[in-house]
């Protein structure tokens, strides 16, 4: 019988090997690959790929597999970044603002920032009147918002760069066993 602490310890000691890294690289290149296709590329059994994907979801933070749609194909003609400054910067105001933003269908991303602005929102709009409606109806009447500024995106170049997996020593290792890449930063305490 395996106890919960033994199960937790075995999960902490899991490390990524080259096959795991190969799977991550394949998925970063094309997230629509099936387990069967990945197994064929790597010449591994499908059941092993399934187990490895579950491990990678747990260790590497894979939280979903999705497609990316081109918004312009759906008559959403332009993107806007909206800078937002709140009247108060307390936890309650921040939480309320985040909740309010989730109900706005044109806003697809909300990032908290440091500096002169508190948030940058990314939105996609069909026409300028839709943006004006958002500003005049939702933002100007919101008691949380002090000031906004809008930046209309004229053109963009998107880079789809995968996460570099060259220096992956630390993933899956517990804090008492630093990998070779971290030994220059970590010096164990010695008894006097």
Residue 179 lies in a domain: no
pLDDT value for 175: 39
Are 150 and 82 a contacting pair, CB within 8 Å? yes
pLDDT value at residue 191: 46
| 29/92 same-domain check | no
Residue 140 to residue 146: CA distance in whole angstroms: 9
- 101 and 30 co-located in one domain: no
Domain count, the chain: 2
Q: What is the pLDDT of residues 141-185, one digit of tens each?
A: 899 999 999 999 888 787 777 777 776 655 554 434 444 443 333
Give the mean model confidence (pLDDT) for residues 2-26: 68
- Write the CATH number for 27: 1.10.10.10
Contact status, residue 82 vs residue 152, Cβ threshold 8 Å: no
All residues at 6 or more sequence positions from 163 whose CB lies less than 8 Å from its CB, including other chains: 24, 28
**C-alpha separations of 112 from 38, 94, 118, 190 in Å:** 37, 9, 6, 42
- This prediction has a pTM of 0.58
Range of the domain at 63: 15-67
Question: 80 and 116 share a domain?
Answer: yes
Query: Do 101 and 61 reside in the same domain of the chain?
Result: no
Q: How confident is the model at residue 27 (pLDDT cuts 50, 70, 90)?
A: confident
Please indicate, yes or no, whether residues 75 and 147 belong to a single structural domain of this protein: yes
Residue with the larger pLDDT of the pair 169 and 14: 14
Residues 82, 40 within the same domain:
no
* Domain contains 178: no
Domain containing residue 109: CATH number: 3.30.70.920
- For the segment 111-151, what is each residue's pLDDT rounded down to a tens digit? 999 999 999 999 999 888 999 999 999 998 899 999 999 99
The answer to whether residues 44 and 100 belong to one domain is no
Q: Residues in the chain, how many?
A: 192
162 belongs to a structural domain: no
Q: Is residue 54 part of a domain?
A: yes
Looking at per-residue confidence, does 9 or 113 come out higher?
Answer: 113
Residue 74 confidence (pLDDT) = 67
Same domain? For 20 and 77 the reply is no
* Nearest-angstrom CA–CA distance, 126 and 56: 38
- Give yes or no for residue 71 having a pLDDT over 80: no
Beta bridge partners of 119: 84, 112
89 and 22: one domain?
A: no
For residue 189, what pLDDT band results from cuts at 50, 70 and 90? Answer: very low
């Amino acid at each position: 019988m395996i106890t919960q602490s033994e199960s937790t310890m075995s999960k902490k000691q899991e490390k990524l090997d080259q096959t795991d890294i190969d799977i991550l690289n394949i998925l970063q290149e094309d997230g629509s690959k099936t387990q069967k296709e990945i197994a064929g590329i790597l010449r591994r059994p499908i059941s092993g790929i399934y187990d490895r994907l579950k491990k990678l979801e747990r260790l590497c933070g894979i939280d979903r597999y999705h497609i990316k749609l081109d918004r312009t194909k759906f008559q959403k003609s332009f993107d806007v970044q909206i800078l937002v400054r709140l009247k108060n910067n307390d936890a309650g105001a921040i939480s309320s603002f985040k909740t309010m933003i989730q109900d706005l269908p044109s806003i697809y991303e909300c990032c908290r920032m440091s500096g002169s602005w508190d948030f940058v929102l990314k939105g996609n709009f069909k026409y300028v009147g839709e943006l004006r409606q958002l500003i005049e109806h939702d933002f100007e009447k919101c008691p949380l918002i002090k000031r906004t500024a809008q930046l209309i995106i004229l053109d963009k170049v998107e880079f789809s760069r995968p996460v570099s997996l060259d220096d992956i020593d630390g993933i899956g290792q517990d804090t008492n066993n630093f990998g070779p890449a971290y030994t220059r930063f970590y010096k164990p305490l010695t008894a006097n």
